[in-house]
Structure 1
Amino acid sequence: MSAHNTASSYGTVTKSFHWLTALLLISAFLLGLNASDLAHEIQSPEFDGSQEVISRAMLRFSIHKTIGIAAFFTGLARIAWAITQPKPGLLHPENKPEALAAEVVHWVLYGAMVATPLTGWIHHAATIGYAPIWWPFGQELPFVPKSEGLAALFASLHWASSKALQITFLLHVAGALKHVVIDRDATLRRMLPKSGALPMPPAQKHSAIPAVIALVVWAGVLTGGVLMAQQSDDHASHSHGQTQGQTSDSALAADLAEAQQDGDEGEPAGNWRVEEGSLGLTIQQMGSGVSGGFANWQADIIFDDPAAPGPAGQVSVEIDIASLSLGTVTDQAMGSDYFDSASYPKARFDAQLEKLETGYQAVGQLTIRDKTQPLALPFELQITGGDWAEMSGQVVLNRLDFDIGKGTQDEGTLGFDVVLDITLTAQRSN
């Protein structure tokens, strides 16, 4: 059996690509469908925080994505091989409508084999928080930033292209069955192993019209995906007062400004007023870092920089737990086994400020959920002109000390360490 195509038959390489692509796409579709069902269950108000369901969803998504990447490269290789090979002609080219439909379906299907996994890959790379792809080449893509707006756009494009793939795949299968059951010809047999003697197709000419129609179809598919993303973005803007397309830094700054305005319904009790800042955190999920932050928090700061090491003041920080943004795992983080924002809407840090030989620290108590633990936060401080201060600090917490995700004892699934990063700019108020 020849590895190459002939005028009447497909070679072993083409057949292998055909059936491998079909296997990969069917597997990815079924796993993605199951993973999406689990994700909807996790995001529902009735979800009980079951770690088994969460782990199963992450596993399904990781396998789905990994198979999708394999399907993408297999599709590219299949197309590259097809370009170099003769294509056996239609056995019934005289049936013009059927011949046109077959050619259009093939062109759209080829596009979907590449577009569906590629849009899913870009969505994955742009998403903050994800089930990782199982391969050694990292989770990022060149020129693809972490962006909720970009992730939402390519999620919509992935959905639209997957629908095009499903429809053309089913039409392709239906056409093959028609050739077996109704036409009783050798069309399907040409793609099977040991196909035996095959008839020579009649002479025929191939037109560019099917490819042009396929391009029009794809223009409609991609336009539909973009419009769907815009509608979702408009809904989010109406509901939340900002578009998904804003960068996380811009959204965070806006929310911080609002939080500072709403803070205490008047002047803060401290002698420093926070003008801007960020309260971020990073977790390890399935071995990959996921970063986010709290949009709403307020700080009361009393601080006087002493000439020598010693007491320097005090600080009280209150954090709105529901303002946490952690990418695709935000809803999960709000659940009863994690922050349980419904029962414990606020976290609090009360500490004494100290000047050290080198740097500063805040030593006090951090309360999250119903757990209070001692915490020492080292930080750096720069005071400019006596009235402006810039502070930055980092500390590592163990989530289990606060009963966060206590049902997840596997550090490979969800790391124990949570890194908090704090930066702020404050102005002396009196």
Structure 2
Amino acid sequence: MTLKNVERWGAVSQTFHWLIVLLILTIATVGLIMVDLPKTPKYFWVYTLHKSLGITVLVLAVLRLGWRLYAGAPPALAGTPRWQERIASVTHWLLYALIFAMPLSGWLYDSSSGLRPFRWFGLFLVPKLSPPNPSLRTLSHDTHETLFWVLVCLVALHAVAALYHHLVQNDATLVRMLPRRRKRTQPEEPPQESNHVA
């Protein structure tokens, strides 16, 4: 059994994919909630959690891209129209770009805001990308928000396309990113007793 992406996405690629999906959903939820929180100690705890999760996604994105370059990608399913292949390829690389750009813009916003350095999940200090800079702070904040909504739209399009392939076209596009089901082995039937009388 190979971990590379041969006929379907391998276990490593699947793990990176679903872990990043879960983290992005968590970060988005935390980000939308903390906008309305009052500036209390709880707010700053939630804000630090948001930033720590964002850095985690950035690290995972680097590892995922490295694995993708090493393990490749499974070929398109037989019979897939050329235009669908191109759209899928462009969508995948746009998603990669956004998964990098989102945490980087947030990190730059935090750095240019002049806030105290934060500890990644309380473990170690995260360095600043720039000194305090009001204009850069505004630009990176606006970029971060815009990229978030672009990511939401692109993820929704990606999910709808996967469901369309699964439910309408009834092909293996979605199944190839899911763990392979183990086939049940049929229990052996006990030998039947012979009624033959010697």
> Matched residues in 2 for 1:62 and 1:140: separation?
14
SS at 2:40 equivalent: helix
The alpha-carbon distance between structure 1 residues 56 and 93, as it changes in their structure 2 partners (threshold 3 A), is farther
Counterpart position of 2:12:
13
| TM-score for the superposition, normalised by structure 1 | 0.40
> Matched residues in 1 for 2:166 and 2:70: separation?
28
Whether contact under 8 Å (2:5, 2:73) holds in the other structure is yes
Counterpart position of 1:123:
109
Query: Quick check: 1:190 aligned with 2:176?
Result: yes
Counterpart position of 1:4:
4
Whether contact under 8 Å (1:62, 1:131) holds in the other structure is no
Structure whose residues are more often helix by fraction: 2
The alpha-carbon distance between structure 1 residues 68 and 93, as it changes in their structure 2 partners (threshold 3 A), is farther
Whether contact under 8 Å (2:3, 2:12) holds in the other structure is yes
Residue 125 of structure 1 and its aligned partner are, at CA, apart by 1.3
Residue 128 of structure 1 and its aligned partner are, at CA, apart by 2.3
The 4+ residue runs of structure 1 with deviation greater than 4 A are: none
| TM-score for the superposition, normalised by structure 2 | 0.83
Counterpart position of 1:150:
136
Q: Which amino acid aligns with 1:5?
A: N
Q: Which amino acid aligns with 1:13?
A: V
Structure 2: gaps spanning 5 or more residues: 184-198
> Matched residues in 1 for 2:4 and 2:127: separation?
37
Counterpart position of 2:22:
23
Residue 32 of structure 1 and its aligned partner are, at CA, apart by 0.6
Query: Quick check: 1:71 aligned with 2:60?
Result: no
Residue 137 of structure 1 and its aligned partner are, at CA, apart by 3.5
Two-structure CA RMSD over aligned residues (Å): 2.1
> Matched residues in 2 for 1:15 and 1:60: separation?
29
Residue 16 of structure 1 and its aligned partner are, at CA, apart by 0.8
Counterpart position of 2:196:
none
Q: How does 1:287-306 map to 2 (within 5 A)?
A: none
Residue 20 of structure 1 and its aligned partner are, at CA, apart by 0.9
Identity of aligned residues (%): 29
1:101-124: CA deviation from partner (whole Å, max 9, x where unpaired): 222211110100111011101111
Whether contact under 8 Å (1:180, 1:188) holds in the other structure is yes
Residue 130 of structure 1 and its aligned partner are, at CA, apart by 6.1
Whether contact under 8 Å (2:117, 2:127) holds in the other structure is no
> Matched residues in 2 for 1:68 and 1:164: separation?
17
Whether contact under 8 Å (2:109, 2:141) holds in the other structure is yes
Whether contact under 8 Å (1:75, 1:113) holds in the other structure is yes
Give the number of equivalent residue pairs. 182
Q: How does 1:233-244 map to 2 (within 5 A)?
A: none
Structure 1: gaps spanning 5 or more residues: 43-52, 198-430
Query: Quick check: 1:167 aligned with 2:153?
Result: yes
Residue 57 of structure 1 and its aligned partner are, at CA, apart by 2.1
Counterpart position of 1:58:
44
Q: Which amino acid aligns with 2:146?
A: A
> Matched residues in 1 for 2:16 and 2:70: separation?
14
Whether contact under 8 Å (1:123, 1:150) holds in the other structure is yes
> Matched residues in 1 for 2:72 and 2:118: separation?
39
Q: Which structure is richer in relative contact order (CA contacts within 8 A, separation 6 or more)?
A: 2
Counterpart position of 1:141:
128
> Matched residues in 2 for 1:61 and 1:141: separation?
16
Whether contact under 8 Å (2:106, 2:141) holds in the other structure is yes
Q: How does 1:191-340 map to 2 (within 5 A)?
A: 191-195=177-181
Whether contact under 8 Å (1:59, 1:131) holds in the other structure is no
Whether contact under 8 Å (2:114, 2:131) holds in the other structure is no
> Matched residues in 1 for 2:128 and 2:17: separation?
28
SS at 2:180 equivalent: coil
